[in-house]
């Protein structure tokens, strides 16, 4: 049944939270509830994986890991005026 998948999902969720806590402890991520950020990213990754498996296009699949990492570490906001869109 679904129990092995559920158990795997729970284990991955716990490990992602632990990884997030370690990243925060080392100053790699800002202080933010680790459960929220970790599971938010995990949910997005799961949805993207589902999309890839069902034929949705997300650009080059080999770039997805780097793009998701940049999204998490750099966010979506422009960092300075040179990157900001015209007003």
Torsion of CA 65, 10, 31, 71, to 10 degrees: 20
- CA torsion sign for 38, 39, 44, 48 is positive
DSSP code at position 61: G
Q: What is the pLDDT of residues 19-49, one digit of tens each?
A: 999 999 999 889 999 999 999 999 999 999 9
Residue 31 exposure: Cα atoms within 13 Å on the Cβ side:
0
Cβ–Cβ < 8 Å for 29, 20:
yes
According to the model, what pLDDT value does residue 87 have? 53
Whether the pTM exceeds 0.75: the reply is no
């Amino acid at each position: 049944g679904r129990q092995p998948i559920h158990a795997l999902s729970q284990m991955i969720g716990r490990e992602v939270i632990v990884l997030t806590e370690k990243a925060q402890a080392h100053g790699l991520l800002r202080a933010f509830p680790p459960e929220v950020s970790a599971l938010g990213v995990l949910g997005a990754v799961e949805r993207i994986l589902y999309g890839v498996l069902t034929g949705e296009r997300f650009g080059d699949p080999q770039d997805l890991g780097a793009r998701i990492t940049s999204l998490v570490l750099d966010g979506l906001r422009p960092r300075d005026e040179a990157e900001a869109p015209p007003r």
